[in-house]
Amino acid sequence: MLPLILASSSPYRRELLQRLRLPFECASPDIDESPLDGESAQQLVCRLAESKARALSRRYPNHLIIGSDQAAVNGSLILGKPHTIERATEQLKAASGSSVSFLTGLCVLNSRSGHCQVDHVPFTVHFRPLDDARIRRYLEAEQPFDCAGSFKAEGLGVSLFRSTEGEDATSLVGLPLIRLVDMLLAEQILIP
């Protein structure tokens, strides 16, 4: 079995991968995550997931490298990580009473053989109507400024939802485990 590398510094992705009870290491890929002109959200997350995996392939030449990236889409607008309370407030105001699609790109790169699997997993969040006071209380309590869409689904963010829809709820947190298991099985990794 080739050793696993998670091409991420995200504690959320690390926690999700630990659910599979496979040994792995984490390494930060340090890539430019800026969207390209005319790039769709689907193209963006797939490109970035693969770029993250490939960025580590020289340092880890005999490994399975897992890359993942996520974008939130509200209408035609791609939402990134807000980084500030002001931008998070804007994102949640725009999401109030509407639906936001989350696309999570996933890549498993076998750096020994060069075999590369890339896919994306969609998930939709339908938000409750959110007034300014509720948004402020939430942001002060959870401070989700490093999360696309300005909430943590694994925490209090779920209180902002009216409903969700999708095949894999872990994709909302940033690492779609159901699709990842498919990719690992294709690489002959036995999942406990």
Which residues have a catalytic role annotated? 69
Those residues whose C-beta lies under 8 Å from the C-beta of residue 35, and which sit 6 or more positions away, are: 44, 78
Q: In sequence order, which ranges of 143-188 are alpha helices (DSSP H)? A: 170-173, 177-186
Cβ contacts of 127-131, under 8 Å, gap ≥ 24: 127/92, 127/95, 127/96, 127/97, 127/98, 127/99, 127/100, 127/160, 127/161, 127/162, 128/96, 128/97, 128/160, 128/161, 128/162, 129/96, 129/97, 130/92, 130/93, 130/95, 130/96, 130/97, 130/160, 131/96
